[in-house]
Amino acid sequence: MPLIENGRIIEDRFVRVSDEDALPEGVPVLIGIDRFLKEAEALKGRQAPVGVIWPNNRPIAEIERYLGQLSLIALNFPIFRDGRAYSQARLLRERLGWKGPLRAVGNVLRDQFLLMQRSGFDQIEAAKEADAQAFDEAVHRYTVFYQPATDERPSLLRQRLGRTPRG
Amino acid sequence: MYVYDEFDREFLAERVAEFRDQVARRLEGTLTEDEFKPLRLMNGVYLQLHAYMLRVAIPYGTLNSDQLRRLAHVARTYDRGYGHFTTRQNIQFNWIRLEDLPDAMAALAEVGVHGIQTSGNCIRNVTTDQWAGATPEEFDDPRIWAEILRQYSTLHPEFTYLPRKFKIAITAAPKDRAATKVHDVGLRLHRNEAGELGFEVLVGGGLGRTPFVGKLVRPFLPVQHLLSYIEAIMRVYNQYGRRDNIYKARIKILVHEIGAEEFSRAVEAEWESIRDGALHLTPEMIAEIRARFLYPAFEAAQDQPAELVEALGDERFATWYANAVHRHKVSGYAIVTVSLKPIGAPPGDATADQMEVVAALADDYGFREIRVGHEQNLCLPNVAQKDLPALWRRLDAAGLATPNVNHISDIIACPGLDYCALANARAIPVAQEIAKRFSDLDRSRGIGRLHVNISGCINACGHHHVGHIGILGVEKNGQEFYQITLGGRADEKAQLGTLLGPAVSYEQVPGLIEDVVDTYMELRAGPHELFIDTVARLGVEPFKERVYAAH
Contact (CB, 8 A) for A78 and B157:
no
Give domain status of residue B120, yes or no: no
Nearest CA in chain A to B9: A144
Q: How far is A15 from chain B (nearest CA, A)?
A: 29
**CATH number of the domain bearing residue B30:** 3.30.70
Alpha carbons B38 and B45: distance in angstroms, whole number:
9
Give domain status of residue B118, yes or no: no
CA-CA distances (angstroms) from residue B420 to B47, B48, B75, B249, B410?
Answer: 9, 6, 18, 22, 21
**CATH number of the domain bearing residue B385:** 3.90.480.20
In which domain, by residue range, is B356 found? 306-397
Among A76, A87, A145, A155, pick the best mutation site for testing chain B contact (most B Cβ within 10 A): A87
Instruction: Report CB contact under 8 Å: B151, A156.
Output: yes
Segments in A102-145 forming alpha helices (H): 113-118, 129-133, 135-139
Q: How far is B239 from chain A (nearest CA, A)?
A: 5
SS (H, E, C) A49-111: CEEEEECCCCCHHHHHHHHHHCCEEEEEECCCCCCHHHHHHHHHHHHCCCCCCEEEEECCCHH
**CATH number of the domain bearing residue B426:** 3.30.413.10
Give domain status of residue B407, yes or no: no
Say if residue B374 is in the same domain as residue B445. no
Give domain status of residue B297, yes or no: no
CA-CA distances (angstroms) from residue B388 to B313, B356, B372, B375, B384?
Answer: 13, 19, 19, 22, 7
Going along chain A from its start, the domains and CATH numbers come out as 3-142 (3.20.20.70)
Say if residue B141 is in the same domain as residue B70. no
Among B338, B363, B397, the domain boundary falls at B397
Instruction: Report CB contact under 8 Å: A160, B7.
Output: yes
Among B66, B154, B158, B275, pick the best mutation site for testing chain A contact (most A Cβ within 10 A): B158
* pLDDT given for residue B52 in this prediction: 86
Say if residue B351 is in the same domain as residue B431. no
How many A×B Cβ pairs under 8 Å? 110
- Quick one: DSSP state of residue A22? P
Give domain status of residue B481, yes or no: yes
Residues in chain A with CB shorter than 8 Å from the CB of B157 are 86, 114-116, 118-119, 147, 149-150
Alpha carbons B487 and B149: distance in angstroms, whole number:
32
Say if residue B248 is in the same domain as residue B158. yes
Q: How far is A50 from chain B (nearest CA, A)?
A: 26
Instruction: Report CB contact under 8 Å: A83, B162.
Output: yes
CA dihedral B36, B243, B163, B472 (to 10 degrees): 90
Residues in chain B with CB shorter than 8 Å from the CB of A150 are 157
Quick check: A165 pLDDT over 50?
no
**ipTM of predicted complex:** 0.95
Among B239, B275, B289, B295, pick the best mutation site for testing chain A contact (most A Cβ within 10 A): B239
Nearest CA in chain A to B13: A142
Give contacts of B 220-259 with A, CB under 8 A: 227, 235, 238-239, 243
Among B76, B109, B142, the domain boundary falls at B109
Nearest CA in chain B to A109: B35
Tell me the sheet residues that pair with B333.
B384
Say if residue B250 is in the same domain as residue B353. no
Give domain status of residue B25, yes or no: yes
Nearest CA in chain A to B288: A161
Say if residue B12 is in the same domain as residue B101. yes
Say if residue B13 is in the same domain as residue B146. no
Q: What is the pLDDT of residues B127-177, one digit of tens each?
A: 999 999 999 999 999 999 999 999 999 999 999 999 999 999 999 999 999
- Quick one: DSSP state of residue B298? P
Say if residue B218 is in the same domain as residue B159. yes
Say if residue B372 is in the same domain as residue B417. no
Instruction: Report CB contact under 8 Å: A141, B14.
Output: yes
* pLDDT given for residue B241 in this prediction: 97
* pLDDT given for residue B49 in this prediction: 76
The tens place of each residue's pLDDT in chain B, 551 residues long, gives 677 888 999 999 999 999 999 999 998 999 999 999 999 999 999 888 778 899 999 999 999 999 999 999 999 999 999 999 988 889 999 888 888 888 999 999 999 999 999 999 999 999 999 999 999 999 999 999 999 999 999 999 999 999 999 999 999 999 999 999 999 999 999 999 999 999 999 999 999 999 999 999 999 999 999 999 999 999 999 999 999 999 999 999 999 999 999 999 999 999 999 999 999 999 999 999 999 999 999 999 999 999 999 999 999 999 999 999 999 999 999 999 999 999 888 889 999 999 999 999 999 999 999 999 988 999 999 999 999 999 999 999 999 999 999 999 999 999 899 888 899 999 999 999 999 999 998 999 999 999 999 999 999 999 999 999 999 999 999 999 999 999 999 999 999 999 999 999 999 999 999 999 999 999 999 999 999 999 999 999 999 999 988 66
Q: How far is B63 from chain A (nearest CA, A)?
A: 16
Total number of domains in chain B: 4
Q: Is B541 on the interface with A (CB under 8 A)?
A: no
Contact (CB, 8 A) for B286 and B144:
yes
Say if residue B432 is in the same domain as residue B545. yes
Give domain status of residue B127, yes or no: no
Among candidates A90, A159, A161 on the partner chain, residue whose Cβ is nearest the Cβ of B284: A161
Give domain status of residue B403, yes or no: no
Say if residue B152 is in the same domain as residue B266. yes
Among B233, B258, B290, the domain boundary falls at B290
Please report the beta strands in B71-226, taking only residues with DSSP state E, as ranges in sequence order: 82-85, 90-96, 127-128, 168-171, 185-191, 197-203, 215-222
Q: Is B510 on the interface with A (CB under 8 A)?
A: no
Say if residue B147 is in the same domain as residue B280. yes
